[in-house]
Amino acid sequence: AQSVSQHNHHVILSEAASLELGCNYSYGGTVNLFWYVQYPGQHLQLLLKYFSGDPLVKGIKGFEAEFIKSKFSFNLRKPSVQWSDTAEYFCAVKSNSGYALNFGKGTSLLVTP
Amino acid sequence: EPEVTQTPSHQVTQMGQEVILRCVPISNHLYFYWYRQILGQKVEFLVSFYNNEISEKSEIFDDQFSVERPDGSNFTLKIRSTKLEDSAMYFCASSEAGNSGNTIYFGEGSWLTVV
């Protein structure tokens, strides 16, 4: 069965700390990979996406993610978080042949000053 | 930046009542979607819609649900006879195309509370 797993449900970091949020998926075939962010009271916004090519993708606000096909992973990273990065982060996977995004359960990130 | 807009932002309804959630997708987008998020759970795909017909739907999207594009701008989700377990945030989304190269943009959601 297709699934998306986010390992950390709640993460608390101090400002300037480095961030890595894990995402693993179980899918057959070619996939497209996404990280979305939801700031408090706002809608889901795309941070970055991977479709093909360079497995290290850079997104907005200094975020990046690396697709490791052999590990079925797409971990999100940021070298130095800010208080404004406090939000819910969702990994999502889509089969290349389908329309539906399959989301992970999300990781709640709290960055303390 | 163009946005997907949704109304209402919050609706409270009695069990058994019909509810219509409305969405205005981004104007040049051709693919439309509904997702939902039950409190404390993950965002779940309900349905995708293209060229006036459903292109894909999940197991959640049973006969209780229907979607429609009544005019050139709106995209609606109708829940025929609401149940308590339909209480959730419903997200509308749209994309230029359905294939791999396109980003799906989400609206701010409509909170549905069934009492």
Cβ-Cβ contacts under 8 Å, A37 against chain B: none
B112 secondary structure, DSSP code:
E
A11, with CB counted inside 10 A (0-12, 13-18, 19+), is middle
User: Strand locations in chain A, DSSP E?
Assistant: 3-6, 10-14, 19-21, 23-26, 31-38, 45-50, 56-58, 64-68, 73-78, 87-95, 102-103, 107-112
**Mean pLDDT across the stretch A44-72?**
94
Mean pLDDT of B66-94: 95
- The answer to whether B100 contacts A96, with C-beta atoms less than 8 Å apart, is yes
**Which residues in chain A are closer than 8 Å to B100, comparing Cβ atoms?**
30, 32, 51-52, 94, 96
Confidence of residue B43 (pLDDT cuts 50, 70, 90): very high
Distance from CA of A68 to the nearest CA of B (A): 18
pLDDT reading at B96 higher than 70? yes
Q: What pLDDT, on a 0 to 100 scale, did the predictor assign at position A99?
A: 84
Q: Considering chain B, what percentage of its residues have pLDDT values greater than 90?
A: 80
pLDDT band at A15 (very low <50, low <70, confident <90, very high): very high
* pLDDT over 80 at A100, yes or no: yes
The larger pLDDT score, comparing residue B32 to residue B1, is at: B32
pLDDT at res. A8: 84
What's the pLDDT score for residue B100?
59
Mean pLDDT, rounded, for B100-104: 74
Residues of A in Cβ contact (< 8 Å) with B107: 43
pLDDT at A94 exceeding the cut of 80: yes
